[in-house]
Structure formats: C-alpha cells, structure tokens
Amino acid sequence: MAHALQFYIDGSWVDPVVPNVLDVIDPSYEDAFAQISLGTKADVDKAVAAAKRAFATFGYTSPAERLEILQRVVDIYKKRSRDLALAVSREMGAPRQFALDSQVGIGLAHLLKIVEVLRTFQFRKVKGTSLVVKEPIGVVGLITPWNWPLNQITCKVGPALAAGCTMVLKPSEIAPLDAVIFAEILDEAGVPKGVFNLVNGDGPTVGQALASHPDIDMMSFTGSTRAGILVAKSAADTVKRVSQELGGKSANILLPDVDFAVAVPKGVEGCFGNGGQSCNAPTRMFVPRDRHDEAAGYAKVAAEKFVVGAADASGTNLGPVVSQIQYDKIQGLIESGIAEGATLVTGGPGRPAGLNRGYYVRPTVFADVTPQMRIAREEIFGPVLSILPYDSLEQAIEQANDTPYGLASYIQGQDLDKVRAVASRMRSGNVYINYPAWDAGIPFGGYKQSGNGREYAEYGLDDFLEIKGILGYEAA
C-alpha cells in the first residue's frame, strides 16, 4: 500500500515528523503483513493547523457544495469497495464476504444516508422575529476503533463533512489500513485540502494530543469506556464538546411466549456476529427458568454450527479475534465462568481443534449464569454467550438494567403490547424488538457508561453543529 507509512495532511501525503513504524498483524496467521507510521504531537499539530486554516472557508460553504462532495465520495467508495474489504479482512480478521457485505456495506449505508439527510436538512429556522441557525462546530478530532472500522469512520466523517466541519482522524492502530484507503477516496473526491486529515498513532500519544489540543472544538470518540474516560478528562481543560460511543453488555430478554427454536439461534447469531466483537452484541440472554434447559439446548446446536477459520478460508463464518491481547482477555473470562460455577454448554478455553496458529476462540455458551459472575458483568468482546434464568419478567427487567452500560437491549415476544412495555423500561440507547433489520436512519448511542451523544443520520449531523440564536433578525 503506497501511503501506509504516510499521513494525509493539508491535502497531501506526508512523512511523519519522527519516523516510527508499527507492524500490522493479520490475526488469522499472527503474521505482520504491513507497516504503518505512528504519529506524534508534532504531526497532530500540523494536521490541526491545516484543519483550522481550512475551516475559515469550508465552514462557510453551502449545503449544496457539501452535498456535491459527499456524492463524489459515495461514487469512489463504491469503486474501492473490494480494496476496503480486503484491508479490513486482513487487519481485523473478518471473513472475506462478511468484510465486503457488512463491514464495507455498512460504511456505504452511512454515506448514502447522510447524502439523503443533507438534501433536506434545515440549517435555518425563523422563530418569531428571530433566526435560529445551526452552524458547524469547527475543527473536530475523530478517534475510531478496530472492530467496525468503516462503520465508525463513515458515521463520523460523513456528518462532519455535511455540517461543514474540518477534521483530524486517528483510526485504530490495530486496523489502520482501511482508513488509509478511505483517505485516498476523499482525496480523489476532491475534498478541499485541510478539510480531512489522517494521522495514525496510538491513544496515549496521538489520541491524547487531539483530545487536549486547544484548537480542537469537539472530540468524537468510539472505543472502550476506559479510554473514553481518558479522552473526556483530556478534553475538559479546553471545555470542548465530547461525543462518545463506548462499551456495552446488552441484554436479550426472551419472553415466555416466544418460539425458542427461532429466538435462541438468532440470539446466538447476534452475539457471535463479527466474532462477538460488537459493542451492542446481545451477550446476556435472559430466559424463563422453566425453559432454561431448552434454551441451552438450542444455543448449543446453534453455536456448534459456526465454522471457525481464517478470514480467507472458504466457508469461514467466524474468523479470529483481532489480537493476542484480545484473545488472552477472552480466555481469562471463559476460565472465570468455569471457576465461578456457570455450566459450560459448549466451547470453552483454548483454540478450536486443528487451529494452532491465529487468534481463534471456540464458540462458547454458558448456562446457569448468575448476574454477579464476571461473564455477566464484563464486556467480553468475543463469541461467548451467557444464559441467565429468570423467575419473573420484573426480575428479568431489573437484572437486564443492572449494569454500568446502556448501549442496547433486545426483547423477543409474540405479545407486541407486552414487548413494547418491556422496551419502554430498558435503560439503553437502542432497543431491538424481535430481531429487526439494522437501520442507518435510527439514532445510535448509549446511556450510562456506554457514552453520550448520538450517531447516524440527522442525529449524528446534529452532534457536529452549534446552535446560534439571532434576535431581531426580522423587523418587528
């Protein structure tokens, strides 16, 4: 990849101020297949200065001008989709077809949605004799994760461009190559120089420099709750806006009237999708106590249907997890589930048979899980499902909400009135009833320690806008 060792600053590919390279590891084989440069505060300062200069003009462009840019980005993104998919597949282990259909596909969906939103978005509204205006917040810092890299890049960059903001992106150093290709896409689309800047690096160096920079007006961060807290603390001294999408430990409540033969396997699929590496994965399945063993049986069959293997292997639908650190964390939590007395239904510690190299986790289901076990409280971020029995629906709701997180909840049942009533009591930013299709037009974000602010569509656009009231605008 021609630009992997460079940063995109002020409309050009440039070398880092201080050379420092990092291997990019293919988790299917544990081999380095590329290198990137790690940036420093000096690189961030250059990128922020470019963005600040660009905002003086780009911040005052018309929505029509920004719409033209976004439409060009969409066209070139489509053209580069297979390049993006290959990069994502190799850097974070997504099976090839899943990388193209889901990882790259979700990014395209966000770009198409923000184009649709921008066509009709109202930036100005007369209210009596006053005018209320929505204006770009300014220069924004964007930090994105490795698990759904293009999802988070597009649902930040798209609305930021639509708003008229300029920006500096720091993608995850674990999965950075798709972001390099994305920068090439924006360059080819003719995004004005300085509007979009890319600096690779780690959180303690580049992330910290962005969050604390006095010329950054807003930080948009997706990642762990631990890292989100550090970003917010670094941003506090300059009173910049901070929008965060953080961790999750989502509950999936199966009501007694649901068809378990359908609902349980779908719950397993939702939990194990993307290798279990989704912040909104339904990892805690609550089932009536008298149907607990039935649920465990269905979950076992569903889990054992997953084909674990290399991202480039035919038939693989569960690739490796992203890194040795992530693998070790998951193994420790699986061991804790066994030690704390949960029933191991299938899976367990170690790699699947025949896979001796690569960060592969056995698809694992625990039953008889109690709410205070680590596997019921900590975000595992791997293909591990916990089944918790409940004695009453009231108890299920209480235990589902008994978590520091609040990103998503899932409710399954045939009585729609009852399901809706349960949904209204879930303390989470999203509730999914009976496994609906994903929707790029619905706000995404969390309650409690799952973050603040909202992404997607007009809700994401609003996050990048300031509101100005101009009194006396109209003659009395």
Q: Partners of 197 in the beta sheet? A: 168
The two tokens of residue 261 are 């033969």
Helix (H) or strand (E) holding 15: none
Question: Whats the size of the chain, residue-wise?
Answer: 476
| Residues 249, 377 contacting (CB under 8 angstroms) | yes
Catalytic residue among 279, 379, 455, 458: 279
Q: What DSSP character marks residue 308? A: B
| Closest listed residue to residue 456, CA positions, set 467, 466, 464, 448 | 464
CA gap 310, 159 in Å, rounded: 35
| Residues 462, 115 contacting (CB under 8 angstroms) | no
Neighbours of 68 (CB within 10 A): 14
End-to-end CA distance of the chain: 62
279 flagged as catalytic:
yes
| Closest listed residue to residue 173, CA positions, set 262, 91, 278, 107 | 91
Q: State how far the alpha carbon of 341 is from the alpha carbons of 172, 291, 335, in Å.
A: 36, 20, 10
Q: What secondary structure, in 3-state letters, does 193-221 show?
A: CCCEEECCCCHHHHHHHHHHCCCCCEEEE
Neighbours of 140 (CB within 10 A): 29
Catalytic residue among 245, 379, 455, 458: 245
CA gap 170, 51 in Å, rounded: 14
CA gap 457, 434 in Å, rounded: 23
Sign of torsion, CA 341 347 352 357?
negative
Listing from the earlier edge strand, what are the strands of the sheet with 465-470? 124-127, 130-136, 465-470
Q: What DSSP character marks residue 39? A: P
Q: Which residues participate in catalysis according to the annotation?
A: 245, 279
